[in-house]
């Protein structure tokens, strides 16, 4: 394959960019009265309006040519067929199999994995029903009232995001907590008001070797046994979610209480595998299946819809345009729904651990900017914090607004006010307020520059009817597939994460050096001095 920047489609996009770079969104809307709906696409219950992105029909045509040149269609097929597209780890990438209906065939090395997926889903459902109905008792015979998920990264962010997002649909008599940080405060605060006799721990770790999770799991066991005394209590208060049965056994959890998944599920793509056990406990088996149905609807759309109407493809390609042609290095994710407060954090791992790469699949330098920096806060809170920079700062910050037609907790006209703010922000960013308009309001001349809004700041607005399990599944799958689309354009591996290794190794080495007795430090002078200061003051 030719390198990205040497490709014909890339050069065409560069020429096109030179022609359109100064065209304002005001002009694009003035030229085309239908723009607001022409650039909108609907799929799997999500309506996405791309009209406020700085693209023309020609931009999209050229981006589709780029996608064709980079064989995006074939690369999508390779993923759905279970090929080993995660080259650096020699693994298939099949999160789509986790939500495939029973009866589908998706093979890895000649074995259909869909029956295995449904077998685990069946076991998870039986377990969830038992806990939710009180059939599963703690060691002393008490009913389980608290569920604590212990995991980190993909084994935490998906579960906590989904729990918060779908809390409306969860029984309030069950308390859910999520412990991820090796900072003991996390576990201490999560358990401070809980009774071990009523608490179930889910130890969620793909590898079951992650330092933070294993340390938290051991401390959780000690906390539990400090009251229940008998090690036999572990069987009633600890279950595991992992691919590593040997380590689960070593920890002392009976494999009968382990829910498995497979090496073809990446950590950040695992919230709909057994890693979602806490989600199933919170929603019930049917709610979890609704979530999977939403994921699957978006999978089908991604796999089979022409690029022109393909929501994840459009989102991914426009992201490439914003990043590599308009020079935006970030994306603000702004959900106008309080339940989605952890959604930006979830997307940070999904997008940045996936596409934060600087070499191609073949090991060459990528010559363009890759993975944008994702961040955000629920609206309207962000409006009173960082929106100033997005409206009038010197940096371009493309925004994803996410909103819902129906309120889950209707109260007076709160929801109308919330949504009015969402619509207003997209409008203000796109159209701004030119100086003439400011002057027409008789603003003193010296304040005119301060009160001018340049506009031309791109955003996408995603609207759905209700934030329910199905919608959440579709929303997450939208971002998953947009991430893959971008990785194909950049020719990078979205499914490995070697960049997290070095810090882990150094932390182990330093961990052994924190005892004051340790004589010799052989780091750089800064690290040596910091360790010495810590040793003397700890």
- Annotated catalytic sites, by residue? 353, 384, 504
Q: Pick the piece of the chain touching ligand F6P (CB under 6 A) from 50-58, 73-81, 95-103, 149-157.
A: 149-157
How many Å apart are CA 469 and CA 148, to the nearest integer?
21
Non-local (6+) Cβ contacts of 53 within 8 A are: 39, 318, 321, 322, 398, 458, 459, 460
With binding defined as CB under 6 A, does residue 206 bind ligand F6P?
A: yes
Beta strand 459-464 with 46-49 is: antiparallel
Cβ(164)–Cβ(133) under 8 Å? no
Q: Which one, of 228, 227, 241, 96, lies nearest residue 159 by Cα?
A: 241
What is the secondary structure of 344-355 as a DSSP string? HHHHIIIIIIHH
Cα Rg for the chain, rounded, in angstroms?
25
| Candidate residues 54, 236, 268, 457; the one interacting with ligand F6P per rule CB under 6 A | 268
With binding defined as CB under 6 A, does residue 507 bind ligand F6P?
A: no
Q: Pick the piece of the chain touching ligand F6P (CB under 6 A) from 78-86, 102-110, 200-208, 248-256.
A: 200-208
With binding defined as CB under 6 A, does residue 205 bind ligand F6P?
A: yes
User: Which residue, 98 or 418, has its beta carbon nearer to ligand F6P?
Assistant: 98
How many Å apart are CA 279 and CA 127, to the nearest integer?
13
With binding defined as CB under 6 A, does residue 213 bind ligand F6P?
A: yes
Site string for ligand F6P, 435-474 (x = CB under 6 A): ----------------------------------------
With binding defined as CB under 6 A, does residue 500 bind ligand F6P?
A: yes
| Candidate residues 88, 112, 170, 207; the one interacting with ligand F6P per rule CB under 6 A | 207
Distances (CA, A) of 52 to 21, 39, 417, 421, 426: 15, 9, 21, 16, 8
Q: Please tell me whether the peptide bond between 72 and the residue prior to it is cis, using omega within 30 degrees of 0.
A: no
CB of 225 to ligand F6P, least distance (A): 23
User: Which residue, 156 or 337, has its beta carbon nearer to ligand F6P?
Assistant: 156
Helix (H) or strand (E) holding 507: helix 501-511
Q: What does the block give as tokens for 404?
A: 């819902």
In the complex, residue closest to ligand F6P by CB:
267
CB of 243 to ligand F6P, least distance (A): 8
Helix (H) or strand (E) holding 131: helix 114-133
Q: Pick the piece of the chain touching ligand F6P (CB under 6 A) from 146-154, 183-191, 381-389, 450-458.
A: 146-154
User: For residues 295-354, which are near ligand F6P according to CB under 6 A?
Assistant: 353
| Number of residues this chain uses to bind ligand F6P (CB under 6 A) | 14
The phi-psi region of residue 363 (left if phi > 0; otherwise alpha if psi is between -120 and 50; otherwise beta) is: left
User: Which residue, 357 or 415, has its beta carbon nearer to ligand F6P?
Assistant: 357
With binding defined as CB under 6 A, does residue 380 bind ligand F6P?
A: no
User: Which residue, 205 or 459, has its beta carbon nearer to ligand F6P?
Assistant: 205
With binding defined as CB under 6 A, does residue 357 bind ligand F6P?
A: no
How many Å apart are CA 275 and CA 285, to the nearest integer?
14
CB of 504 to ligand F6P, least distance (A): 8
With binding defined as CB under 6 A, does residue 355 bind ligand F6P?
A: no
With binding defined as CB under 6 A, does residue 86 bind ligand F6P?
A: no
User: Which residue, 498 or 534, has its beta carbon nearer to ligand F6P?
Assistant: 498
Q: What's the distance, CA 259 to chain centroid?
A: 22
With binding defined as CB under 6 A, does residue 210 bind ligand F6P?
A: yes
Give 178's strand partners. 149
User: For residues 151-170, which are near ligand F6P according to CB under 6 A?
Assistant: 152-155
Q: What does the block give as tokens for 117?
A: 């997926």
User: Which residue, 59 or 155, has its beta carbon nearer to ligand F6P?
Assistant: 155
With binding defined as CB under 6 A, does residue 138 bind ligand F6P?
A: no
User: Which residue, 324 or 353, has its beta carbon nearer to ligand F6P?
Assistant: 353
Q: Residue 148 in 3-state DSSP?
A: strand
CB of 444 to ligand F6P, least distance (A): 53
Strands (E), 206-329: 238-242, 258-260
CB of 154 to ligand F6P, least distance (A): 3
How many Å apart are CA 263 and CA 90, to the nearest integer?
10
CB of 148 to ligand F6P, least distance (A): 16
Angle at 107 between CA 102 and CA 112, to 5 degrees: 45
Helix (H) or strand (E) holding 463: strand 459-464
User: Which residue, 290 or 353, has its beta carbon nearer to ligand F6P?
Assistant: 353
User: Which residue, 205 or 460, has its beta carbon nearer to ligand F6P?
Assistant: 205
Residue that has been written with the tokens 């997450």 in this structure: 476
Cβ(236)–Cβ(139) under 8 Å? yes
CB of 445 to ligand F6P, least distance (A): 54
CB of 201 to ligand F6P, least distance (A): 15
With binding defined as CB under 6 A, does residue 497 bind ligand F6P?
A: yes
| Burial of 363 (C-beta count, 10 Å sphere; 0-12/13-18/19+) | exposed
Q: Residue 67 in 3-state DSSP?
A: helix
With binding defined as CB under 6 A, does residue 267 bind ligand F6P?
A: yes
CB of 234 to ligand F6P, least distance (A): 19
CB of 152 to ligand F6P, least distance (A): 5
Q: Which one, of 309, 271, 336, lies nearest residue 473 by Cα?
A: 271
User: Which residue, 68 or 500, has its beta carbon nearer to ligand F6P?
Assistant: 500
How many Å apart are CA 262 and CA 523, to the nearest integer?
38
How many Å apart are CA 236 and CA 143, to the nearest integer?
11
Residues that bind ligand F6P (CB under 6 A): 152-155, 205-207, 210, 213, 267-268, 353, 497, 500
């Amino acid at each position: 394959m030719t390198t990205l920047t040497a490709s014909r489609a890339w050069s065409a996009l560069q020429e096109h960019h030179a022609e359109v770079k100064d065209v304002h969104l005001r002009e694009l809307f003035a030229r085309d009265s239908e723009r607001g709906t022409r650039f909108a696409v609907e799929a799997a219950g999500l309506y996405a309006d791309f009209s406020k992105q700085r693209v023309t029909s020609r931009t999209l045509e050229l981006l589709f040519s780029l996608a064709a040149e980079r064989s995006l269609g074939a690369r999508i097929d390779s993923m759905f067929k279970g090929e080993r597209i995660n080259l650096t780890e020699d693994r298939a990438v099949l999160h789509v199999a986790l939500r495939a209906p029973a009866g589908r065939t998706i093979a890895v090395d000649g074995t259909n994995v869909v029956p295995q997926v449904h077998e685990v889903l069946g076991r998870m459902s039986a377990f969830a029903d038992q806990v939710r109905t009180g059939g599963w008792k703690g060691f002393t015979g008490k009913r389980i009232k608290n569920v604590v998920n212990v995991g980190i990264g993909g084994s935490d962010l998906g579960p906590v995001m989904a729990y918060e997002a779908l809390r409306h649909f969860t029984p309030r008599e069950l308390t859910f907590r999520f412990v991820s940080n090796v900072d003991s405060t996390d576990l201490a605060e999560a358990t401070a008001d809980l009774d071990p006799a009523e608490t179930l721990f889910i130890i969620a770790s793909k590898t079951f070797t992650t330092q933070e999770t294993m340390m938290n799991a051991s401390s959780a066991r000690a906390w539990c046994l400090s009251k229940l005394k008998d090690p036999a209590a572990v069987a009633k208060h600890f279950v595991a979610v992992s691919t590593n049965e040997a380590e689960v056994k070593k920890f002392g959890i009976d494999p009968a209480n382990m829910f498995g998944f497979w090496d073809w599920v990446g950590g950040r793509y695992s919230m709909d595998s057994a890693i979602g056990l806490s989600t199933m406990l919170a929603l019930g088996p049917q709610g979890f299946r609704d979530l999977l149905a939403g994921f699957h609807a978006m999978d089908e759309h991604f796999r089979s819809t022409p690029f022109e109407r393909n929501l994840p493809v459009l989102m991914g390609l426009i992201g490439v345009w914003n990043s590599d042609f308009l020079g935006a290095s970030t994306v603000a994710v702004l959900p106008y729904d309080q339940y989605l407060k952890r959604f930006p954090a979830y997307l940070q791992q999904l997008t940045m651990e996936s596409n934060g790469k600087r070499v191609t699949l073949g090991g060459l330098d990528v010559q363009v900017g890759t993975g944008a920096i994702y961040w955000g806060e629920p609206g309207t809170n962000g409006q009173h914090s960082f929106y100033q920079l997005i409206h009038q700062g010197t940096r371009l910050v493309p925004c994803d607004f996410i909103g819902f037609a129906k309120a889950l907790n209707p109260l007076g006209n709160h929801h109308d006010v919330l949504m009015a703010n969402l619509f207003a922000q997209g409008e203000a960013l796109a159209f701004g307020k030119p100086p003439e308009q400011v002057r027409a309001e008789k603003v003193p001349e010296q304040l005119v520059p301060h009160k001018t809004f340049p506009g031309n700041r791109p955003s996408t607005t995603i609207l759905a009817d209700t934030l329910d399990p199905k919608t959440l599944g579709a929303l997450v799958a939208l971002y998953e597939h947009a991430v893959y689309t971008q990785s194909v354009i950049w020719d990078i591996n979205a499914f490995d994460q070697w960049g997290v290794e070095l810090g882990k190794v150094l932390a182990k080495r330093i961990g052994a050096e924190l005892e004051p007795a340790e004589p010799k430090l052989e780091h750089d002078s800064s690290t040596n001095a910091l360790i010495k200061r810590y040793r003397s003051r700890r």
